[in-house]
Amino acid sequence: MRRWRKMTWVIVAWCVVMAIWIVAAIASADPSGQCARETYRGACEAGSTAGSGIAVVALWFIWFFGFLVLSLIWFMTRPKGRECPVCGETVKRGRTTCPGCRYDFAAAVDHEPPAPA
């Protein structure tokens, strides 16, 4: 079973936190309770609704640009190779044999049984 990298968990956590924040911002946009005592109630409700809409759009942009930055970090910190299943040494991309134990990755791919459907 493949494990997710730590940066993948950071991106997932970022998306969950931002989604909860945006849903909370949308849910709290109830202008009728805030504008009950105002003289110009219609204008107050319109302003409150517009302000909530602006806040949701601003949160969406923060979410998007944060996701973009975290994704770039994720791409830049990806592993530089693969782990040898025999000795555990990191083998650079493009090499077909492990320099430590001479494990042949190409031969292992040719002789592996097909994965069950």
pLDDT in tens, 68-116: 999 999 999 887 778 888 887 888 877 888 888 888 877 766 665 555 5
What is the predicted pLDDT for the residue at 103? 85
Beta bridge partners of 81: 92
The predicted pLDDT at position 109 comes to 65
Apex 92 CA angle, 89 and 96, nearest 5? 90
- pLDDT averaged over every residue in the chain: 82
Run of H or E residues at 75: helix 41-76
pLDDT for 78: 80
Which residue type does 96 have? T
CA distance 87 to 101: 7
Per the CB < 8 A criterion, the answer to whether 15 and 63 are in contact is yes
pTM of the predicted structure, to 2 decimals? 0.62
Q: What are phi and psi of 37, to 5 degrees?
A: -100, 0
Highest mean pLDDT among 21-30, 37-46, 71-80, 107-116: 71-80
User: pLDDT-based confidence at 11, cuts 50/70/90?
Assistant: very high
Q: Percent of the chain at pLDDT above 70?
A: 80
